[in-house]
Amino acid sequence: MNKVSSDQELDLIVWSLIQGSSNAMDFLDYLRHTLNRPGQQEEAFQAATRFWSNKNAPRHFDKAVAALEEMAQEGNENAMFHLGRWYRLGYGVAVDADKGLAWYRKGAEAGSSRCLINVARCVAKDDVPTAIALFRKAAVEMGDLSAHCFWADFDKEDHDQHMQLAVSFGDPFSMYSLAHERLKKLNDADAAEPWLDMLKSAAQKGESYACTQLGQIYRDGHHGIAKDHEVSLYWLKKAMALGNEAAYVILGRDLLAKDENLGINYLKRAAMLNDAFAQSILGHHQTWYGKCREDQLEGVVWLRASAQQGFKYAINKLAEALQNDRGPEIEKNEALIWLQKGASLGMADCQSSLGIAYIKGEIIDRDEEKAHNLFHLASLQGDAWGTYLLALTYENGHGTAKDLVQAFKCFKMSAEKGELKAAHKLGLAYLWAEGVEEDIPAAAKWLKTAASAGHADSQAYLGMLFSYGHGVEENADIALYWLQLSAKQESAIGLRELAKLYEDGEGVEADMAEAIKLMAKAASLGDERAKTWIDKKYPNKPDWLKGLGSLSDKKFSDDE
């Protein structure tokens, strides 16, 4: 086996030794091992998917480790390089940095420049001068100019010169690194052309991250390139064929709305390779849009996997899923643990959710002051939802002195950032002169902003303005339009006011039966005025209307 002289030949040996496995991890380690080289990627992904639940089945990758160790003992420097990489990154073996470095050293002694470069990269953490000397030896004495790509990180003064030398060697990773670096700093489309050409050269040489970046550029139309779906797809599929998980994430996310099954399949491939972003997207989709309970449970598993890697988006989504019984908590108060972790990391979403938990007092002891402080932290980060919740604490005196002026200011800040519930509250503040002078035009403006975006109670209040001619010219047709929209969403206020139009025949033909039906619905939703109307107009009400508890009391709620 010492005659194996290329990575591709070695890849075939590895595949032959693991292809009979029924453990998904063997195939995922093969995929990691062969990144950027064509091989049996599709077969490996299919096998990993098929055996995903068999993580406790006997491993076969140890056979590949033994085979490479035998080759290495016989002096094969390719085997030494890959053993170094496997131990350093944990492919098929437990991570062991010392063993990885030892194999790199043996490979360097056998004349492998890439092993020497990796020795330099390892020792650079503690001894930069020694690392630079090793990079120099690889580049100058052994003629491997790709060493300059890593040397550049430790010689900022001559950084560009190092990168140009690495690129001149034709190394695709160096070409990708330089092009990526330059494109990030450019705004001028004309200046981007040579770096786009370099990126294409790297991609054509098999650098999968260059392929992925080109796919994104053509997908989104960056650097003066017109959007081109077909070209984007070409580069992303080329990256996927080389095992690049980032390409699977991009295409998988895009496909969820067009071809859900294929999108989920692509995301699952990246998620199996432990891509935290893929796990979070897949987890959220399965948790909230899964077609069955099994999908939801699987979604929570993926969210948890992403959160355990510290991916912030997944932390709040996991806590939310657990609070909504989308999946089991694997430890006591797990949802609370994740909210606390996210809040401590400065995540505004988690701070707001944890604040709500303190207000409700269900998963943690009620503490309005802590809730107010958490909402304040979220608001200080510019979070519209946190600012809205902060406004509610000022409005209702939860954890702080009641302050309608401060509540108004917070509602305004939140509304201006697009929070519809804040826009509704802001409209009411102007309407009722709470924390600000009465301003009906401003009230109408903000109520319409929220109403146009589908906020049911804003639609009801806007309809009322036109129904009563309050600050605007009375218009029964416009009132009817907004009240009907509100009633369709079962807004108690909208149902009540629409019932009055039918009672009085304003904008519609008078219809007492319809008025009673709408008013009864509003009463069943707890509207006190509707209940009073029913008592007066419909004294022989059925049992379901008797003794209704009021739902209209002003209270703090994250759904308010």
Backbone angles phi, psi at 136, to 5 degrees: -60, -40
First to last CA, the chain: 71
Which one, of 121, 94, 118, 89, lies nearest residue 106 by Cα?
118
Helix (H, G, I), strand (E, B) or coil at 148: helix
In the chain, the amino acid numbered 329 is: E
| Domain boundary assignment for the chain | 7-188, 454-560
The predicted structure's pLDDT at residue 2:
56
pLDDT for position 55: 80
The pLDDT value recorded for residue 535 is 84
Give 106-154 pLDDT, tens digit per residue.
999 999 999 999 999 999 999 999 999 999 999 999 999 999 999 999 9
Give the whole-angstrom CA distance, residue 560 versus residue 555: 8
- In 3D space, the residue among 352, 348, 294 whose CA is nearest the CA of residue 326 turns out to be 294
Whole-number CA gyration radius for the chain: 32
Average of pLDDT values for 212-217? Answer: 97
Average confidence (pLDDT) over 489-504:
95
For position 515, what pLDDT does the model report? 92
Percent helix, strand and coil across the chain, each to the nearest 5: 70, 0, 30
Write the pLDDT tens digit of every residue in 215-264: 999 999 999 999 999 999 999 999 999 999 999 999 999 999 999 999 99
Q: 101 near 84, Cβ under 8 Å?
A: yes
Q: Is the pLDDT reported for residue 552 higher than 50?
A: no
**pLDDT of 545:** 53
Query: Where residue 541 falls among pLDDT bands split at 50, 70, 90?
Result: low
| pLDDT for the residue numbered 556 | 39
- pLDDT class for 537, splitting at 50, 70, 90? confident
Question: Cβ distance 108 to 128 under 8 Å?
Answer: no
Question: What is the tens place of the pLDDT at every residue in 439-482?
Answer: 999 999 999 999 999 999 999 999 999 999 988 888 999 999 99
Does residue 161 have a pLDDT over 50?
Answer: yes
Q: Mean pLDDT of all residues in the chain?
A: 93
Interatomic CA distance for residues 334 and 348, integer angstroms: 19
Predicted confidence (pLDDT) at residue 550 exceeds the cutoff of 50:
no
Q: CA-to-CA distance for 525 and 422, rounded, in angstroms? A: 23
Question: Measured between alpha carbons, how far is 492 from 212 in angstroms, rounded to an integer?
Answer: 51
Contact assessment for residue 46 and residue 52, using Cβ atoms and an 8 Å cutoff: no
What is the pLDDT at residue 54?
87
- Beta carbons of 283 and 300 less than 8 angstroms apart: yes
Are 486 and 459 within 8 A, CB to CB? Answer: yes
Q: What is the model's pLDDT at position 228?
A: 96
Cα–Cα distance measured from residue 424 to residue 412, given in angstroms and rounded to the nearest whole number: 10
Question: What CA–CA distance (Å, rounded) separates 308 from 146?
Answer: 35
How far is Cα 441 from Cα 465, in angstroms, rounded to an integer?
11
- pLDDT value, residue 553: 37
What CATH code is assigned to 7-188?
A: 1.25.40.10
Interval 277-289: pLDDT, tens: 999 999 999 999 9
CB 169 within 8 A of CB 205: no
Q: Is it the case that residue 547 has pLDDT exceeding 50?
A: yes
Question: Do the Cβ atoms of 502 and 518 come closer than 8 Å?
Answer: yes
Displacement of CA 371 from its chain's centroid (Å): 25
* 245/281 Cα distance (integer angstroms): 13
| Cβ atoms of residues 86 and 92 within 8 Å | yes
Residue 106's alpha-carbon distances to 33, 78, 109, 179, 400, in angstroms, are: 20, 11, 5, 33, 67
Note whether 7-188 and 454-560 share their fold: yes
Q: Helices in 221-292 by DSSP H: which ranges?
A: 229-241, 245-255, 260-272, 276-289
**Confidence at 371, pLDDT banded by 50, 70, 90:** very high
- Domain boundaries 454-560, CATH class: mainly alpha
The percentage of the chain sitting over the pLDDT mark of 70, rounded to a whole number, equals 96
Name the pLDDT band for 534 (thresholds 50, 70, 90): confident
pLDDT of residue 549: 42
15 pLDDT more than 60: yes
Helix (H, G, I), strand (E, B) or coil at 542: coil
> Helices marked H in 435-547 — which ranges?
440-452, 456-468, 476-488, 492-504, 512-524, 528-537
**Residue 382: what are its φ and ψ, rounded to 5°?**
85, 15
pLDDT digits (tens, 9 = 90+) for 336-358: 999 999 999 999 999 999 999 99
DSSP assignment, residue 291? S
